[in-house]
Chains A and B, each alone.
Chain A
Amino acid sequence: MRAFDLIVVGGGLVGSATAWGAARLGASVAVIDEGDDAFRASRGNFGLVWVQGKGLGMPDYARWSRRSAALWPALAEHLRDGTGIEVPLRQAGGLYFCLSEDEFEQRETALRRMHNEIGDNDTRMLRRAELADMVPELGPRVIGASFSPIDGQTNPLPLLRALHAGLERLGGSYLPGRTIDAIEPGVDFSVRSGTERLVGRRLVIAAGLGSRALAPLVGLDMPVHPERGQVLVTERLRPLLDYTCHTIRQTPEGSVMLGDSKEDAGFDTSTTVSVTQGLAARAATVFPSLADAQVVRTWGALRVMTPDGFPIYQQSERHPGAFAATCHSGVTLAGAHALALAPAIMAGSLPDDLASFTSRRFDVPAA
């Protein structure tokens, strides 16, 4: 038996950022993870650190996302200093393109509502002519775009690697290749995997799509479901995009990534011609020059979605010390998870500004 201050179930971006953040405060931490065959949104995602448009109808989520984007530079710096791993971060601004007057008006209306809800909002609408100096030649159907100066991008692969390496540098244990056989709540939480038994003062369920089955073991409710996204990657190209676009981004190495499809495909991570064709066609509609780029790789991955798309953060009432943490934006929210959520969990209670993220919001009967 091994004893820890904190056991995190799930070694994706949410669990790893939380675990690393706790270890940074001096806690002894174990992360129990599945193997390379796990559904792994942390490796398949698009890599945006994205704020604009997030949190319409839930101002606390808008604020939480903004806070995380603001914490990101510190996260990247701490990880570099602690591990030597460079997690690239570019927060030069993000564009969301509108291909019709309708889309433009809807976007403008949504952003105005958000401005009214959260007070501060630096996102603004740009007409086509105003975009001319910012991006390559636009296709004729582009009406304009919304622009937020705080949006940006990273690379989720070194991020995950740095969080795991950083955790171990801080004395934590990353334990991959495990499945959970039992969690027994008590004064401490006892977690059993095969013949191994770990005991933790506190427990975080951050197991992505696996959380649905694990959360009830400690009196929590995490009704998450998979939503497939497909991604295309082009050959490396000379720099052509200074700004991150919602569905199109260029990596520092030159690849252009196209993404942001949304499908209910169950637990199927394969790609389909119709969706990849759609992603490529929309990209070429925005930037016609991309039509000549060769696609070298495609993949599918599963988002971890709650019924309303917003995160769940909650402490178990029946078994205090057990916490739920899940969201579909493990990259954007990594800063907040590491540097705000983890300290709150180690202090034993979630702050008021996370109170609205309880899963009790799903208990309201549908009208």
Chain B
Amino acid sequence: MFRRLEGSDERPVQRIEFEGTPIAARTGDSVAAALLMAGVGHFRTTPVSGTPRAPYCMMGICFDCLVEIDGVANQQACMVQVQDGMTIRRQQGARTL
């Protein structure tokens, strides 16, 4: 569904993991962009009804791209850049303190 813009991407590869599956992202990718490129269809489920959600605004406003990154819950995937070795999981409903 998503593809990188024309031209070869020379940026170094960053290896991340989503729900146990390895993904090759590029330096400078947001976590949200990297997951969408890899075909991830839903990022989180909502706290109230459990409905699946995916990024909507890609600019830090909608909070529909929430994921757990390296064990920290409710991270906005569109606002965090990938780093080699990142472990990402879906945000299932609201966070537990």
Contact = CB atoms under 8 A, between A and B. Distances in A.
A50 B95 CA distance: 28
Contacts of A292: 97
Nearest to A288: B97
Interface in A250-306: 252-254, 289-290, 292-294, 296
A237 B93 CA distance: 8
A294 B95 CA distance: 10
A80 interface: no
B95 A235 contact: yes
Given A253-B47, A294-B74, A240 B95 contact: no
B18 interface: no
Interface residues of B, number: 9
11 contacts: A236-B47, A236-B74, A236-B94, A236-B95, A238-B93, A238-B94, A238-B96, A240-B97, A254-B47, A290-B97, A296-B63
Interface in B26-77: 47-48, 63, 74
Interface of A: 136, 235-238, 240, 252-254, 289-290, 292-294, 296
Given A235-B94, A238-B97, 5 more contacts: A236-B47, A237-B94, A238-B95, A254-B48, A292-B97
B48 A237 contact: no
Contacts of B94: 235-238, 254
Contacts of B97: 136, 237-238, 240, 289-290, 292-293
Contacts of B48: 252-254
B95 to A, nearest CB: 5
Contacts of B95: 235-238
B63 A237 contact: no
A44 to B, nearest CB: 20
B96 A235 contact: no
Contact of B74 (A136, A235, A290): A235
A292 B48 CA distance: 21
Nearest to B63: A296
A279 to B, nearest CB: 17
A85 B97 CA distance: 31
Contacts of A253: 47-48
Nearest to A296: B63
A237 B91 CA distance: 11
B17 to A, nearest CB: 23
Contacts of A254: 47-48, 94
Contacts of A236: 47, 74, 94-95
A270 to B, nearest CB: 20
Q: What are the nearest 10 A-B pairs in CB distance?
A: A254-B94, A236-B94, A289-B97, A238-B96, A235-B74, A236-B47, A254-B47, A238-B94, A237-B94, A237-B95
A289 B47 CA distance: 19
